[in-house]
Structures are given as structure tokens and as C-alpha cells.
Structure 1
Amino acid sequence: MDEEQEIPEVIPVLDEGKYKDEINLEVKESEASGMTSSAAMCLKRELGVVEAIAVMMGAVIGSGIFVTPSGIISITGSVGLALVVWAVCGICITMGAMCFAELGTMFPDSGGFYSYLHKSFGPLPAFLSAWVFLMVRNNGGTAVVALTFSSYLVQSVTGTCHTDHRLPETLIAVLILALQSWMNCKKVVWVGQVQKVFVLSKVVLLTVIIVVGVVHLAHGHTRNYQHPFSGSNWVPTAIASACFHCFFAYNGWEQICNVVEELKNNSR
């Protein structure tokens, strides 16, 4: 044959009605499960308002409030200057928390500092910030909290305030960090429930301390407040060091923005 025979291309014909039915079925199953196509890759929104408050309070009310007051008093040298440092740092922290609350409602994406820096200045500053937080800031702060908890636990068991049981304290701290990491990876709802228990215990403990202090003052023990600024250390480096201790005690106000994508109603 001089001319090649043209072989017709076989194109499969889809049943349009059946194809549409399958698509509609998939969409209905997706809607029934509470997930749309745009939210299929998002984190599950399982944290309510109470869990969100517990996460923030649990992060702020930590070991810092129990270990830093004595350090601030020793650095500032007076009760008056120490109270001024606490007040000024508290105002600064409140302003930062309000800014982050606004950012959390405008950009409901998990990531906190990383997410906001990435949207504002690009990937490089966001990556550097995340690297510093991961390798330095978060690791150091979490280790201090875990060691403080284990130290108090060992002291409560042994009945002495000064112990040399460094190995048990370190092992307990490592176990606490491992358990906390496992719970965060396994199910965020568990973390919210645990936070509620610990936040309640912290609030009760702080309430007891405040009430005891007020009763102590009411009985006329005001000697430390008669000359509140006597012996104050006005050296700038000392005040900066005291502010650093105070910021550590207030630390945790931005933690809620790390899980804002998992909140059921982030505007609340």
C-alpha cells in the first residue's frame, strides 16, 4: 500500500451524569465531615475560648513569677524601684499582647512571630527569627521552667530547700519535656485539658500568696514600705537586668498566636 492507513485514536467516553454524581458525592462527604476544599489542609480547630485562655495563662504564669521577684529585689536594692520595674514592664507587655491579639484576628495562621515576619518582611527574616526561637530562646526558657518544676518537686519530697540532687532533678525535667512534646504531637485537646488543671492550681496558689501578703500588711507589717526607694540601685545596667528578669516572668503572652489556627473562634 502506497499510503499509510490512518489509525483512528480511541478516546474514552465518560458518562457525564455518573461523573457529576461522583463529584457531588465527594463534596457532600467533605461537607458532612466539616471540611471544605479550602480548609482540608488546615489544622483542626479544636480549641475553645476556655482552652485558649488556659494556654495563655499557663504560659504567662510559670516558674518566672516564683523565682524572679527575689532576684529583682536584690538587683534594684529597694521595694519601690522593684515595683516600678514591674509596672513599666507590665505596661510594655500589655501593649505587645494587644498588638498580637490584633494580628491574630487579622492573620489567623499559626506560627506567631514567624508568620507575621514572613508576611511583613519576607522569608529570610522569618527564617532567622524561627531559628533563634528554636535553637536559643524557646529551648532555654523551657529548660528553665522544667528544671524549676523538678527542683520544687524534689524539695517538696525531701523536705529541704537546698538539695544537691542534680541528677534526679535533671531526669525529671527531661521526662517532663518528653511528655509535653508527646502530648503536643499526639492531640492538642489533651494539652488544653492539662493546661486547665495547671492554670487552676497556679491561680489558687497565687491567690493564697496574695491573701497572705495582704493579711500580713493589714497587721501593721509595713516597715519595708516606709522608705520604699531607700537603697535603690539606679545604675542603668542594673535596671536593665531587672527588666530582663521581669520580662522573663511575663513571658508567654505571645504563645496563643502560635495556635491561633487551631482556635474555633479566633476573634473571641
Structure 2
Amino acid sequence: MQNVKLERNIGLFSAFSTVMGTVIGAGVFFKVASVTGSTHSAGMSLLAWFIGGLLSICGGLTSAELAAAIPETGGAIKYLEVAYGKLPGFLLGWAQVLIYFPANIAALSIIFGTQFVNLFHLSTFWLLPIAIITGASLTIINLLGSKYGARLQSLTLIIKLIPIAVIILFGLISHGSASISFFPSSTSTSNNILVGFSGGLLATMFAYDGWLGIGTIAGEMKSPKKDLPKAIGWGLFGIMVVYLLVNFIFLKTLPINQLAGNLNAASLASKHIFGALGGKIVTIGILISVYGAINGYTMTGMRVPFAMATEDSLPMSHLLKKISLKTYVPYNAGLLQITIAILMMLIGSFDLLTDMLVFVMWIFNVLIFLAVIKLRHQQPELERPYQVPLYPIVPILAIIGGFFILITTIITQTLLAIIGIIITLLGIPVYYLSKHKNN
């Protein structure tokens, strides 16, 4: 086994950029359609984005206590192992390695390819090749070393916020044609206010997804115990502010019936603000935003199979735990991740896989929130450089929010939830086979 260790060269701003850059992707532009489609109210849509942001901040601040106390590469897997044992941690890693990270990379790469083709008026034939090149290019960049991936994350964050800032600035001073009400503007839908709001909130949680992955690079941060909680807390707060402002502009600019279910709502709203050039500006913003999001998933995702392989808990662990002697990056883990992602691009079931794993991830998120309370009682001697503020109120709010997401998904997407649970549980025989082989 190699004695080479991952380099600690990721600072606070790079970690902060990873949180914001990973989460702010296509969701800020596309989720307005599904949120307004569920709520049928501008005011309720903004409330859903606000509540979704608060729940994410509560979840991020809660998990940050474990991230600071257990700053190891592998992130949430290590938290679950300490709190519940090896099997729950393995199942989380299994779900992340097999579907979650590759599915997000695949789905975002397809979105990038779609927007690129539309921007330059290319044939749809080029969509899949561009998507594959996009995902592969980011894997290559991250294989050159963690500092390159981190620098790219910082750069794309700065660039992607420029068009968003322009939209917000000009949108605030422009005259809007739509009014904001806290009640549904249409009574034609069979959904009542509670069901509509819950659907909108669930959609925002998909847009806020991705913050937990920052814990996987804790082993490569210069000062993880000090910087990791700051990166998560301030990163999620910044994301919530951006989401609220951008969606306020869209809702102010267009009436609700032109936003609901319209995936081109962001482009349409920008055309109203800037004129014909607005759609192209938004498309460029989406391309930069999505590229940065893919980089975030690529950088954090490849550390998960590496962390599991160092404990010989995965098939072919002897290959996955290898680190490049030149770049100090787990190159085989990165190659495995992009291979699965490309296969998903070819198959095409991106949305189903992503939605399924978001549900599964929230099962583990709730376990992580509960673990903070559990370890406070069982391991009071554990060094906690950071403690979640307003304990136990913040963890309890995170737990309640997590259960709401799970219950809502089970009620509204029962089959998807069942399939997600089954795929995750398939990791149990793999775990025991690997354990038996090691013994």
C-alpha cells in the first residue's frame, strides 16, 4: 500500500467556492418553472425558496459540527461510521459512488451540451459528444491536481456571479409587469395551498442540493476545523440570497402563468429586461454556472471511492486507492466516476436517477443530523472545534425539514422512492462479501 497522502492545499475561499459553485448550477435558472408550477403564486414561490434556504442552512450548520470534529477525506461517510458503524457509512458511499455523483455529472453535462447547441445553433447530433467532452475535460483538469480543480471552482464562481449580478441589478431598477401575492393566482389547479407549497419547497431543495459534498475534501484543506464550518454556513447563506434575488426578478418581470412549467423562463425574463441580447447573456451564464457545478461534483465525488477503497470496502479497492505520485490525486477513482457518468449519458435516465438519489441522500442527511445529537450524549469528550449554534433547535429544525422532504417524496413519487431504497440496499451484500474477502 502506498504511503503517499493527499496534499492539504485547499484554503477557505476555495472551500467556500466549492460550496457555492457546486450548488449554484442549473437550478437557479430552471427551478423557477417547477416551483411556480406547484405554487401558482409569486409570493408562495419566494417563501418556498426562503424556507428551502433556511432548512439547507440548518442542515449545513448541523453537519458542519461533525465535519469539523471528524475532518477526514470521505466526509459524510466517516460521520456515519463514527455514529452508527461501518454499514451505514458504506451504504452512503455506495449510493454516492454508484449513482449520485456520476448522475449529477451526467445530467449537468447534458444540460451544458443542450445550452451550448442552442447558443451556437448547432445540430442536435453534437449534444451528446459535447456533453461527454464537458464531463471528461473536468475530470482531466482535476486529475492534474486538487489545486487546479479548486482554482477552477473559484474562477467559475466569480465569472458565473457576473451575469447573475447583472440580471439582479437591472431587474431591480426595471419596471415589472407582474404583481406578487402570497396566495395562488389560479384556482383551476386541484392542488390546495399546502400541497402546492410542499411541491414548490421540494423543488427548491433539489436546487439547494450539493452542499454536503464539501466534507469529502476536508482531508485536503489547510485548516478544516476552522474553515469548513465557515465555508458551509456562509456559502449556503450566499446561495439563498442569490436564489431569492434572481427568482424575485423573474417573478417581478413575468406573470406567473408564463413562468409555471416554462424551462425557458429565465431566457424569456432576460429578454424582457435586456432585449434580444438577454437570452444569449443568460445562456452564457448558464454554461459557466453549470460548468462550475460539474467541477464541484467531479472534485468532491472522486474522493468518495478513494476513501472507501483505503479501507478495502469496495471491489477493486487495490486500484481505487492508488494516488498519483506526481499530482497526489486518486486517479483511478476519478476515472471510475467519469466512466459511470458517460454510461449514464448514453443511457439517458438522468432525471430519474438524480431525483431518486436526492431522496436517498436525504435519508442519510437525516441520519447525520440525528448523529450530532447522538454523539453529544455518547461521546461528550469528542473534540468539537465548532458546535452548531442554538443547539438543539437548529438540528431539530434540520431533522423536521428532512422528514418533510422524505414523506413528501414517498407520497408523491412512491415508486421512485422504493426503487431508490432498493438500489441502496443492494450495497448490503456487497459490503458483507467485501468484509468476508478481507477476513
TM bucket by the smaller chain?
A: 0.7 to 0.9
Q: Secondary structure at the match of 1:46?
A: coil
Give how far 1:223 is off: 3.2
Q: Which runs of 5+ in 2 are unaligned?
A: 228-439
Is residue 223 of structure 1 aligned with residue 178 of structure 2? yes
Q: Which residue type is aligned with residue 218 of structure 2?
A: V
Distance 1:237 1:142 in 2: 31
Q: Which residue type is aligned with residue 52 of structure 2?
A: C
Give how far 1:241 is off: 3.4
Q: Which residue type is aligned with residue 101 of structure 1?
A: A
Partner of 1:152: 115
Partner of 2:70: 107
1:76–1:234 CA contact under 8 A, matched in 2? no
Partner of 1:48: 11
Deviation per CA, 1:217-264, whole angstroms, max 9, x where unpaired? xx3x25322575422743655444322321121112122211011011
* 1:104–1:41 Cα change, 3 Å: farther
Is residue 261 of structure 1 aligned with residue 219 of structure 2? yes
Give how far 1:164 is off: 6.7
Distance 1:240 1:41 in 2: 48
Q: Secondary structure at the match of 2:211?
A: coil
Partner of 2:148: 190
1:44–1:262 CA contact under 8 A, matched in 2? yes
Distance 2:36 2:213 in 1: 28
2:21–2:157 CA contact under 8 A, matched in 1? yes
Partner of 1:98: 61
Partner of 1:66: 29
* 1:173–1:52 Cα change, 3 Å: same
* 1:242–1:140 Cα change, 3 Å: farther
Return the TM-score normalized by structure 1. Answer: 0.75
Q: Which residue type is aligned with residue 92 of structure 2?
A: S
1:110–1:257 CA contact under 8 A, matched in 2? yes
Partner of 2:209: 251
* 1:164–1:157 Cα change, 3 Å: closer
Q: Secondary structure at the match of 2:114?
A: helix
The count of corresponding residues between Structure 1 and Structure 2 is 221
Distance 2:219 2:182 in 1: 50
Structure of greater relative contact order (alpha carbons < 8 Å, 6+ residues apart): 1
Give how far 1:89 is off: 0.8
Larger radius of gyration: 1
**Deviating more after overlay: 85-94 vs 125-134:** 125-134
Partner of 2:164: 206
Give how far 1:207 is off: 0.6
Distance 1:151 1:59 in 2: 19
1:64–1:249 CA contact under 8 A, matched in 2? yes
Partner of 2:339: none
Q: Which runs of 5+ in 1 are unaligned?
A: 1-39
Q: Which residue type is aligned with residue 55 of structure 1?
A: T
Distance 2:178 2:14 in 1: 42
Q: Which residue type is aligned with residue 223 of structure 2?
A: N
Q: Which residue type is aligned with residue 171 of structure 1?
A: P
**Deviating more after overlay: 138-147 vs 72-81:** 138-147
Q: CA RMSD in A?
A: 2.1
The structure that is helix-richer by fraction is 2
Give how far 1:148 is off: 1.4
Is residue 181 of structure 1 aligned with residue 181 of structure 2? no
Deviation per CA, 1:152-189, whole angstroms, max 9, x where unpaired? 1221111xxxx871x31221111111122223233111
Structural mapping, 1:23-42, within 5 Å:
42=5
Q: Secondary structure at the match of 2:179?
A: helix
Return the TM-score normalized by structure 2. Answer: 0.47
Give how far 1:122 is off: 0.9
